[in-house]
Amino acid sequence: MGEAYIVAARRTAGGRKGGRLRNWHPADLAAQVLDDLVRGHDPGLFEDVIMGCVGQFAQQSTNVARNAVLASSLPESVPGTTVDRQCGSSQQALHFAAATVMSGAMDVVIAAGVESMTRVPMGLPFKLARDAGVGSYMSPAMERRYPGIQFSQFAGAERIARKYELSKDALDEYGFGSQVKAAAAARSGAFEAEIVPVEGVGPEGEPVLHTVDEGIRFDATLEATRAVKLLSEDGRLTAATSSQICDGASGVIVANAAGLKKLGVAPLARIHQMTVIGEDPVIMLEAPINATRRALARAGMTIDDIDLFEVNEAFASVPLAWLRETGADPARLNVHGGAIALGHPLGASGTKLMATLVHALRARKKRWGLQTMCEGGGLANVTIVEAL
């Protein structure tokens, strides 16, 4: 079996719902990342585009990966396919791309993701189907297996907070910390190597160059974080301890040794291990814990071998429970903040986090990185990379 290398890793800065990226059609936004990735290379070398997207409806329907290719500078000969593994969609796209080049079936593949949560709001396909009376994703067999259960990420996040005895104070402190780290990273220029500048619009529709994640609260305080209203009366989580709705796109070039030679470039990182598991779909968001254990065991590594971690901050309870169960060093976790501050553009978050992880490892001259995220349906992906 061959190796899989990351050659380039880029993302747009996150846009708030209705914010600077509101005028971008998602296929065109994804095309901006594709164009950035392939710039300076022979476009005929790229053999496929595998793109994650959760809301595959309306402007993100009809194979948004192929539509992004057609909106880009890539030739029509480059195919595209769209992946839905919920929040891990583009991390799974990366796994598919890596497996493809490792097998030798292809040499150079782009793994990417896109989500415009402004233009295709979260849950819209389900809501429209329900209102039209055409049925639900819950089949009769699923109903029998999970009688009276309504799968909910919000309920799952609260269940995790209670199960691991995470207080509201601890969740608030974590959410505030994410903002502090993200603001420091943005101010220091830590994101510059990974961000693709795109034209955005300001509050009055004026043109602005969008290069800074719009969700960062540079003036955040712990007192203001604690004052945010609870999502549910008997809960512990608030909007300040939950990931931000976000527009964005991201992508990485994945190649094997032959692909590196064709591209004439040195790799940024090597993909060392890939894992995906399924667990309880009711608590839903707990799977990264056992997925991490499995990935480390398969790699013959321990948690202390890993220099940096990216654990998606869907809700503050997820990385906090992960920290408690894995024993990871909190100082190595989400060192530039996470989705609470930077946003969670659903299908784009997988390769977005990978871009951040790879560039952070190289900037700090560290070797090993681990990325994981919780996913709807009780799923989790883990990717271990070696910075080169």
> Is the pLDDT at 131 greater than 90, yes or no?
no
Q: What is the pTM for the complete model shown?
A: 0.97
Q: Give the mean pLDDT of the chain.
A: 97
DSSP bridge partners of 333? 309
Q: What phi and psi values does residue 66 have, to the nearest 5 degrees? A: -65, -40
H or E element in which residue 162 lies: helix 153-163
Task: Please state, in angstroms and rounded to a whole number, the distance separating the CA atoms of residues 74 and 96.
Answer: 20
In the annotation, is 53 catalytic?
A: no
Does residue 49 register a pLDDT over 90? Answer: yes
The question of whether 87 is a catalytic residue gets the answer: yes
**Pairwise CA distance, residues 57 & 28, whole Å:** 15
Q: What pLDDT, in 10s, does the model give residues 244-275?
A: 999 999 999 999 999 999 999 999 999 999 99
127 pLDDT above the threshold of 90: no
Question: Cα–Cα distance between 308 and 328 in angstroms, integer?
Answer: 10
Task: Taking residues 165-186, report their average pLDDT.
Answer: 98
pLDDT category at 130 given cuts 50, 70, 90 is confident
Catalytic status, residue 246: no
| Closest C-alpha to 110, from 65, 71, 62 | 65
pLDDT at 161: 98
Q: Note the pLDDT tens digit of each residue in 5-22.
A: 999 999 999 999 999 999
User: Which candidate in 87, 210, 246, 272 is catalytic?
Assistant: 87
Task: Give yes or no for residue 128 having a pLDDT over 90.
Answer: no
Contacts 24+ apart (CB under 8 A), 183-188: 183/216, 183/217, 183/218, 183/220, 183/337, 183/341, 185/335, 185/336, 185/337, 186/212, 186/213, 186/216, 186/218, 187/218
**C-alpha gyration radius of the chain:** 20
Local structure of 333: helix, strand or coil: strand
User: Is the pLDDT confidence value at 355 over 90?
Assistant: yes
Q: Which of 95, 210, 272, 344 is catalytic?
A: 344
pLDDT mean over 25-30: 98
